[in-house]
């Protein structure tokens, strides 16, 4: 029993060979220095491997657009040109609207030349077409466009059919509009909540400011013209064809520092850029209708084909804070890596250096099956001597060392 | 001083015992092989532990629906049946609409049998009810439904009350509709932007294609009928009761390869599946109103109870790219794990093998407090001899080895 | 050849010094115990380092509001006060609406005192202002407000201009409204799908329940009044000025347990809290318009300035499941850390203990360039003896041990 206890409270450490050689010594320390510098400089300081990081962020975005623009001789205000109106993170500013007024349910000829016909059978091929203005009935109608009378296939649906080939002036005033963004984020792992205004900004400061990447990087009011500049967009093209612009709010917070340093950074991109090579769907448009009712209760509508600039406010966040687990795992990796340096040094020591054989003899002690069997086959005296050897190993070593000392 | 420098540039390596035994040798190598195979095959090749991965993705989705359907004898087009109309990532296609026309503010009897009454006090229990059509006043009204006159509780609000028990034919044409999805993603960590069309697809190719998981996996136009098939949905049930369908766009990119290999994969799920066991709220419907005004300025509305198929385009992304930190940490883990193999071999060597005692004697040198104390109690000569022993250890070893050699 | 094979199947283990000392032995075991407890208790049990975790979750949210409220003597129902109406994850309940009726395009005087003027030049400063009701023309108009005639700058746009300084009673009934939330989540890494109702809840149970953090934590129906309580909001202030409230649905699932334990937890926050210090934009409001047409086809609109409570249903999820890679890496880190304990013990053993020099002599064998060179300069006999020494190291050791034994 007591033997077990004493056996348990022993301490086992590896026996080491200390090589006093300048060449290997310097290589060893240089390798260690390189490994330590890498871990300290890159892993710990640059990549902050001592932190636990949170990539997912809870975010809430509220937007508000201000400005007036002219469209079809109307003065458009926010309630007219922003869709949806409730200040969402993704919103559209209508820049060009093609209006088809007074559409009633019924049948009428299609507008596009694609649907030109001489007789009914010319229209049969178009049945089931989903790019028309309504359901193609398969009948060819005489239609007066301008002062010319031509045949056009009949379609059933909202009539008259839309003619979206008209020239409409886009609302270029959009460059003067401002977008106000209110964004609050929360990192659930750390339970940290931040807003995108500096707490030092007063109400008036915020109201009058205008975002600028250098001069005013924390102002939450963005001028549309500026955004177009940052993304290298041409106003007229964009207003004419529509487009998608991303406003990225990036939170990169080191929570080991003061929380006031956890501030957003804004960047702007043209979102349909990856599609430049494909000519399709360049731009952004959609259709919506306003519904009215005649005195006698018949519904009619005004169809709007709206070209719009869509703004996507996208919030990404990353927060890091000191945590023992990654620190420990990386520290262990660092220590072990320093240890791995000996692998390289051993290779050099045991193969490339003068006297490699001697080093090998020092480092390795060999024992083979044959020897063990031979020793087992010996007299029990030998067995005993071995056992004794274990117990008195220190003495024997000391003595043999002393002996050898004297032998010199 | 110089002593410190020479001491610093020493190289310390562990002294090893080399066991030339077939049994342990083979076990050792097999264990090492298993550990190395695991790391190479699973950790590095399969799980790509040499990469840093990014799970959060910035995504922008634009959708466009095309097609015509019949509802209540009207031809419905996109502006009629898609809500919201601006091409959002989450959109509804109305498949059945129960219309209550010409609602004015006022009081009227409730419709449902639940509100049947004979006298006012029968209605008191319903006061505060939020499932009625308006605020229950507590009055019992005589109401003519069909050609029968029955008592119904009075409610205040938009009148007449909605009767949503009518049979309305759903818009089955929805199966012919197509959904066009434009999705651009960005992995902020790697600053990689991708769009969901192949850059090799021309405008016409995209326009005419139709998504098919095998034949045309990168076509961004989806047929609603196909989606219903992929999710095993019955058209009529879905159109009648509404439902939620998820269109998942999954980006799984290995950025160590060519960026053109970073393509989306589409999958489709019925989102309300987890609720199958609960009978409640199977399906999807909501109410909205269109507002009109009479000549004399009184507002009235048409209430729509809309059953809709809601499509949620959900984008998930994961990108990986070679990075030194995970590579290093996993390499260190791999090397150290190979080292841990010796723990197993030591157990076998020192306990199970014939000659275990001899191996123990070889592996372990023992030193105990008693010996140290004994040696400290010796003459200072012994101290000296020990010190000398350290300095001349190599010689002594060489000589003792030589001696033993001769002794053989 | 055969020599290579035998060389390959050798087993190399470190030679160890076993120190039988109570002090170091106990320190060694205590350090090991501390390290092991840390890894078992904190890293593995508390932080679940044996799991791979997924932080990004695919989520679909459907909401439905119920209740009736009075506003401007109208009974408002869901179709009136919820925007957007389709049951989105982010929705607004209008609590106060300032209505400006019968707006036609034209010119009219501004309303606010800010635009008071005596002559046209007083208005020039306001040209380009985006906070007005329309485009300031630079003309000063006489305007009758109440029974007083004052000068106001003229603006072009929708007329008459909005007067948003009127007192409107907010819809306090909002506290009785209920919000039903249907949320399905999917963890793509594990392909696990969950819904926010317990599968054991029946249709009637769900319909009649009311969320309570303790009594009914899984009920998906939330009373607005309760939510205001949980977030410490004052109903009247909130209804008057609007506000943003976050409903957080948190999924924290340990998928090593039964999937039925993977349930949501709800929490509620006031989202505009981080902006408290900045007085700006406290509250939440937006403008929208309803469009009408006169008999002769002129469009007019009713402008609504809506104060609303915006609810953001935000879903976050984290799921963990046993996985070999993190387990292995952390196990290796644990084992290696236990090994790092020897660093501390070696420091104590070799520096602080009585007999440290003896321990050093035991632990370290020294070999220097000088010795190697000396041995290389010896007769080839010495070389041979060394080589012999390697091959017969066991014997020599045994003998030297035996010798030393006898020497005692």
- Under the banding of pLDDT at 50, 70 and 90, the label for residue A390 is very low
Q: Distance of CA B294 to CAs A50, A295, A305, B299, C218, Å?
A: 69, 8, 27, 6, 47
**B79 contacts in chain A (CB < 8 Å):** 287-289, 301, 303-304
pLDDT grade for B396, boundaries at 50, 70 and 90: very low
Any C CB within 8 A of A368 CB: yes
**Nearest Cα residue in chain B from C385:** B402
Q: State the pLDDT at residue A22.
A: 82
Neighbours of A126 (CB within 10 A): 18
What the block records as the tokens of B352 is: 């199970």
Alpha-carbon gap: C86 to the closest alpha carbon of chain A (Å): 13
Which phi and psi (to 5°) does residue B280 adopt?
-70, 150
Residues of C in contact with A103 (CB under 8 A): none
Tell me the mean pLDDT in the region A249-264.
Answer: 91
pLDDT at B344: 79
What confidence score (pLDDT) does residue B281 get?
55
Q: What is the pLDDT of residue A54?
A: 86
Q: Which residues of C touch A188 (CB under 8 A)?
A: 250, 316
What average pLDDT does range C325-354 have in this prediction?
A: 80
Phi-psi region for residue A178, left (φ > 0), alpha (ψ -120 to 50) or beta?
Answer: beta
**8 Å CB contact of C58 and B314:** yes
Q: How close does chain A come to C267, measured CA to CA in Å? A: 12
**Residue B280 banded pLDDT, cuts 50, 70, 90:** low
For residue A371, list chain B residues with Cβ-Cβ distance below 8 A.
358
Over range A302-307, report the average pLDDT: 93
Decide which of B66 and B9 is more confident: B66
Find, among A235, A212, A178, A169, the residue nearest to C129 by Cα. A178
- Alpha carbon distance B25, C390 (integer Å): 18
Q: What is the pLDDT of residue A280?
A: 60
- What phi, psi does C34 have (nearest 5°)? -60, -45
Question: Tell me, what's the pLDDT at A5?
Answer: 83
Distance from CA of C131 to the nearest CA of B (A): 26
Give chain B positions within 8 Å (CB) of C12.
Answer: 16-19, 342
Q: pLDDT tens digit string along B283-322?
A: 899 999 999 999 888 999 999 999 999 999 999 888 999 9
- Chain A residue closest to C26 (CA)? A9
What is the chain A residue with the closest CA to C10? A368
More confident residue, A185 or B398: A185
**Number of neighbours of residue A295 by Cβ within 10 angstroms:** 8
* Interface mutation vs chain C, best among B369, B373, B375, B403, most C CBs within 10 Å: B369
pLDDT digits (tens, 9 = 90+) for A4-24: 888 788 888 888 888 888 888
Nearest CA in chain C to B367: C19
At C97 the pLDDT is 93
pLDDT over threshold 90, residue B246: yes
- Name which residue leads in pLDDT, C114 or B390: C114
pLDDT reported for residue B405 = 33
The arithmetic mean of pLDDT across residues B124-145, rounded, is 84
Res A64: pLDDT:
93
CA nearest C391 in A: which residue? A366
pLDDT band at residue C358, thresholds of 50, 70 and 90? Answer: confident
Question: pLDDT tens digit string along C188-223?
Answer: 888 888 998 887 777 778 888 899 999 999 999 999
Per-residue buried b or exposed e for B275-297, using 16+ beta carbons within 10 Å of the residue's own CB: beebebbeebbbbbbbbbbeeee
Average pLDDT over residues C290-311: 92
Nearest Cα of chain C lies from the Cα of B176 at a distance, in angstroms, of: 23
Closest CA to B110 of B127, B129, B133: B133
Q: What is the mean pLDDT of chain C?
A: 83
Q: Do A293 and B295 touch (CB under 8 A)?
A: no
- From first CA to last CA, the distance across chain C in angstroms is 46
pLDDT attached to residue C180: 93
Region B114-137 average pLDDT: 87
CA distances from B376 to A399, B381, B387, C24, C358 (A): 14, 10, 12, 18, 9
* A72 touching C (Cβ < 8 Å): no
> Is B190 in CB contact (< 8 Å) with chain A?
no
Shortest distance between the Cα of C117 and any Cα of chain B, in A, equals: 33
Residue C4 sits at the chain A interface (C-beta within 8 Å):
no
Strands B11-14 and B90-109: unpaired
Distance CA C115, CA C132 (A): 9
More confident residue, C272 or C269: C269
Contact between chains at A6 and C20 (C-beta distance less than 8 A): yes
Within 256-285 of A, beta carbons closer than 8 Å to B belong to 269, 271-275, 277-281, 284
Q: Is C65 annotated as a binding residue?
A: yes
C322 touches chain A (CB under 8 A): no
Check CB contact under 8 Å for B18 and A365: yes
pLDDT at residue C245 is higher than 90: yes
Question: For A45, which DSSP code?
Answer: I
Going by pLDDT thresholds of 50, 70 and 90, the confidence category of residue C145 is low
Provide the ipTM. Answer: 0.81
Residue C336's pLDDT band (cuts 50, 70, 90): confident
- Any idea what DSSP says for residue C161? P
Distance of CA A137 to the CA centre of its chain: 49
Residue B397 has pLDDT above 80, yes or no: no
Percent of chain C with pLDDT over 70: 91
Contact B393 A373 (CB under 8 A): no
| pLDDT tens, position by position, A58-70 | 899 999 999 999 9
* pLDDT tens digit sequence for A155-165: 999 989 998 88
Spell out which residues of chain C touch residue A21, defining contact as CB-CB under 8 Å.
Answer: 368-369, 372
Residue C102 CB: number of other CB atoms within 10 A? 15
Q: Are the beta carbons of C275 and A55 separated by less than 8 Å? A: no
- Give the separation between CA B401 and CA C394, rounded to whole angstroms: 10
Q: How far is C364 from chain A (nearest CA, A)?
A: 5
In this model, does residue A290 exceed pLDDT 90?
yes
Measured CA distances, A219 to A253, A266, A367 (Å): 18, 10, 76
- Least confident segment among A297-306, B85-94, C2-11: C2-11
Window 326-345 of A, Cβ < 8 Å to B: 329-330, 333, 336-337, 340, 342, 345
- A142 against B124, higher pLDDT: B124
CA distance B372 to chain C (A): 6
Contact A66 C130 (CB under 8 A): yes
Question: Residue C398's pLDDT is what?
Answer: 31
Q: Is the pLDDT confidence value at C387 over 60?
A: no
Q: What is the pLDDT of residue A279?
A: 61
pTM here is 0.84
Condensed to tens digits (0 to 9), the pLDDT of residues B144-158 reads: 766 777 888 999 999
Residues 369-388 of B with CB under 8 A from C: 369-373, 375-376, 383, 386-387
Assess B78–A contact: CB distance below 8 Å, yes or no. yes
**Dihedral sign of CA atoms C30, C36, C42, C46 in order:** negative
Average pLDDT over residues A214-219: 91
pLDDT at position B278? 67
Task: Please name the helix (run of DSSP H) or strand (run of DSSP E) that holds residue C71, with its range, or none.
Answer: strand C69-71
B290, HSE (Cβ side, Cα atoms, 13 Å): 19
Touching A: which chains, 3+ CB pairs < 8 A? B, C
Rounded CA-CA distance B357/A1 in Å is 21
C24/A8 CB distance under 8 A? no
- CB-nearest to A15 from C17, C342, C345 is C17
Report residue A334's pLDDT band, with 50, 70 and 90 as the boundaries.
confident
Q: Specify the pLDDT at position B304.
A: 93
Contacts of C387 in chain A (CB under 8 A): 357
Chain B CB within 8 Å of residue A6 CB? no
Contact between chains at A357 and C297 (C-beta distance less than 8 A): no
pLDDT band at A38 (very low <50, low <70, confident <90, very high): confident
Residue B271: the pLDDT is: 87
Size of interface A-B (CB pairs under 8 A): 290
B375 pLDDT higher than 80: no
User: In this predicted structure, which of A171-185, B47-61, B109-123, C336-350 has the lowest mean pLDDT?
Assistant: C336-350
> Which residues of A sit in the known binding site for ATP?
64-66, 178, 285-287, 305
């Amino acid at each position: 029993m007591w033997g077990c206890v004493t056996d348990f409270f022993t301490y086992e450490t590896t026996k080491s060979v200390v090589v006093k050689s300048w060449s290997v010594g310097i290589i060893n320390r240089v390798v260690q220095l390189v490994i330590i510098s890498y871990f300290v400089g890159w892993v710990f300081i640059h990549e902050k491997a001592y932190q636990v990081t949170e990539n997912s962020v809870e975010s809430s975005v509220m937007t508000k657009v201000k400005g007036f623009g002219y469209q079809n001789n109307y003065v458009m205000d926010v309630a007219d040109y922003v869709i949806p109106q409730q200040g969402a993170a993704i919103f559209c500013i209508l820049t060009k609207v093609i209006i088809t007024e007074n559409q009633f349910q019924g049948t009428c000829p299609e507008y596009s030349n694609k649907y030109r016909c001489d007789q009914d059978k010319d229209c049969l091929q178009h049945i089931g077409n989903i790019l028309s203005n309504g359901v193609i009935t398969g009948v060819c109608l005489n239609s007066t466009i301008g002062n010319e009378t031509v045949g056009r296939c009949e379609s059933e649906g909202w009539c008259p059919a839309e003619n979206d080939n008209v020239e409409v002036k886009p609302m270029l005033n959009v460059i003067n509009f401002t977008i106000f963004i209110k964004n609050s984020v929360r990192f659930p792992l750390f339970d940290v909540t931040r807003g995108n205004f500096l707490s030092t900004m007063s109400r008036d400061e915020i109201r009058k400011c205008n975002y600028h990447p250098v001069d005013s990087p924390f102002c939450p009011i963005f001028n549309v013209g500026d955004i177009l500049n940052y993304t290298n967009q041409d106003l007229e093209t964009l207003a004419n064809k529509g487009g998608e612009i991303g406003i990225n709010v990036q939170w990169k917070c080191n929570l080991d520092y003061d929380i006031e340093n956890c501030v957003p950074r804004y960047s702007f991109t043209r979102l349909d850029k990856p599609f430049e090579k494909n000519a399709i769907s360049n731009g952004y448009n959609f259709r919506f209708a306003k519904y009215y009712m005649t005195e006698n209760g018949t519904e009619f509508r005004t169809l709007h084909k709206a070209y719009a600039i869509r703004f996507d406010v996208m919030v990404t966040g990353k927060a890091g804070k000191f945590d023992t687990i990654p620190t420990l795992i990386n520290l262990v990796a660092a220590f072990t890596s320093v240890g791995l340096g000996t692998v390289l040094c051993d290779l050099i020591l045991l193969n490339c250096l003068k006297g490699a054989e001697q080093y090998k003899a020092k480092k390795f002690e060999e024992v083979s099956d044959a020897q063990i069997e031979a020793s087992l086959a010996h007299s029990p005296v030998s067995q005993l001597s071995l056992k004794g050897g274990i117990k008195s190993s220190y003495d024997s070593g000391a003595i043999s060392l002393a002996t050898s000392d004297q032998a010199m």
